């Protein structure tokens, strides 16, 4: 279990020490005091899980998580920690893209159970529980009839590269509330993913396109976070040796 590494992000010294003592029994860890340090550490090292305090000075946990999701080259699970224990707070954080929520003050047994479950689980995204929901196997079979495995992998590599370029344009347009540019780029993502059977990305980009057309910017921001996470899931999936052995 020590092969799993956790980043603890907690500004309260006493609470952070408690987390270190609990997590240190089972996993390797590093700890930082604020969101700024969390972003810096996550940019330099790969963590299997990040425990993110939401209320922090300098940079709050939500802002830090959004930056980490955007800049990360791998799928990073982040659990939110907050004294706001209402169900509405949990729902809001999960919608933003957090993988789970632990209310403070914590209960040590439940705290470790949640962390252990996340670190031992396979990809848990609802779009990724079934490989066929990530990538349509019928589409893949058709492509493999007429192309080599290496060629198909290259095609999906191009899909991911173009996705990144298009999302950069979406991000810039989103900041300016440039509705037309956002819609145009999301439409291209939707078309590309649909053509190549990237089902989860297709569904999410379709939803994001609808939000852009209705100018539901708050919902769109959350949808874009989910899209980026799904892109990482797809990348991992197509790297699996068994993916193209149908």
E-assigned strand segments in the chain: 5-9, 28-32, 49-53, 77-82, 100-103
Q: Given this model, what pLDDT does residue 122 score? A: 44
Q: In this predicted structure, what is the pLDDT of residue 107? A: 86
Q: How far apart are CA 206 and CA 60, in angstroms?
A: 30
* Residue 155 and residue 236 in one domain: yes
pTM of the model: 0.59
Pair of tokens at residue 200: 């989860």
Do 107 and 147 fall within a single domain? no
Lowest mean pLDDT among 24-38, 64-78, 172-186, 195-209: 64-78
User: Which CATH number belongs to the domain containing residue 16 in this structure?
Assistant: 3.40.50.2300
DSSP secondary structure letter of residue 51: E
Give the separation between CA 99 and CA 80, rounded to whole angstroms.
8
Question: Which CATH number characterizes residue 190's domain?
Answer: 1.20.120.160
* Rounded distance between C-alpha atoms, residue 106 and residue 100, angstroms: 14
In whole angstroms, what is the distance from residue 227 CA to residue 219 CA?
12
pLDDT classification of 246: cutoffs 50, 70, 90: low
pLDDT at 89: 84
DSSP bridge pairs for 52 = 9, 80
The reply to whether 81 and 138 lie within a common domain is no
- At 100, phi and psi to the nearest 5? -165, 175
| Structure tokens given for 198 | 């990237």
**pLDDT band at residue 146, thresholds of 50, 70 and 90?**
low
Cα-trace Rg, the chain: 19
Which of 94, 121, 148 is the last residue before a domain boundary? 121
CA distance linking residue 113 with residue 192, whole number of Å: 40
Give yes or no for a contact between 20 and 8, defined as CB atoms under 8 angstroms apart.
yes
User: Would you place residue 100 in the very low, low, confident or very high pLDDT band (cuts 50, 70, 90)?
Assistant: very high
| Rounded Cα distance, 88 and 68, in Å | 24
Q: How confident is the model at residue 161 (pLDDT cuts 50, 70, 90)?
A: very high
Q: Predicted confidence band at 129 (pLDDT cuts at 50, 70, 90)?
A: very low
Average pLDDT, integer, range 187-204: 89
CB atoms within 10 A of CB 136: 17
Domain end position, chosen among 89, 121, 153: 121
**146/114 same-domain check:** no
Host domain of residue 13:
5-121
Tens-place pLDDT, residues 39-69: 999 999 999 999 999 999 889 999 999 999 8
**Angle 61-71/87-96 helices, nearest 10 degrees?**
20
Q: For the chain, what is the mean pLDDT?
A: 87
**What DSSP state is assigned to residue 28?**
E
Q: Same structural domain for residues 180 and 107?
A: no
Based on the structure, what is the number of domains in the chain? 2
Percent of the chain scored above 90 by pLDDT? Answer: 50
Q: Are 9 and 53 in contact (CB under 8 A)?
A: yes
Sign of CA dihedral 120, 156, 164, 194: negative
49 and 77 in contact (C-beta within 8 Å)?
A: yes
> Averaged over 26-30, what is the pLDDT?
93
pLDDT at 245: 66
CA distance 235 to 105: 37
Q: What DSSP designation does 127 have? A: G
Q: Looking at the predicted structure, is the pLDDT value of residue 121 above 70?
A: no
Please give the average per-residue pLDDT across 175-200, as a whole number.
Answer: 92
pLDDT at 30: 97
End of a domain among 101, 121, 141? 121
């Amino acid at each position: 279990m020590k092969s799993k590494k956790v980043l603890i992000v907690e500004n309260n010294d006493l609470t952070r020490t408690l987390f270190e003592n609990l997590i240190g029994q089972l996993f390797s860890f590093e700890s930082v005091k604020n969101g700024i340090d969390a972003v810096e550490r996550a940019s330099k090292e790969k963590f299997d899980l990040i425990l993110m305090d939401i209320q922090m000075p300098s940079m709050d946990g939500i802002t830090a998580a959004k930056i980490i999701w955007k800049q990360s080259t791998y799928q990073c699970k982040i659990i939110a920690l907050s004294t706001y224990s209402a169900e509405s707070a949990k729902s809001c954080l999960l919608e933003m893209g957090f993988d789970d929520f632990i209310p403070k003050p914590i209960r040590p047994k439940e705290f470790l159970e949640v962390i252990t479950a996340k670190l031992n689980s396979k990809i848990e995204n609802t779009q990724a529980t079934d490989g066929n929901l990530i990538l349509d196997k019928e589409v893949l079979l058709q492509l493999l009839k007429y192309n080599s495995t290496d060629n198909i992998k290259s095609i999906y590599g191009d899909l991911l590269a173009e996705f990144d370029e298009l999302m950069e344009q979406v991000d810039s347009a989103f900041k300016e509330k440039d509705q037309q540019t956002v819609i145009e780029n999301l439409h291209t993502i939707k078309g590309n993913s649909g053509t190549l059977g990237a089902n989860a990305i297709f569904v999410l980009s379709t939803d994001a396109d609808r939000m852009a057309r209705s100018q539901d910017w708050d919902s769109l921001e959350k949808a874009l976070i989910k899209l980026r996470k799904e892109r990482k899931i797809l990348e991992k999936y197509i790297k699996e040796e068994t993916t193209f052995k149908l």
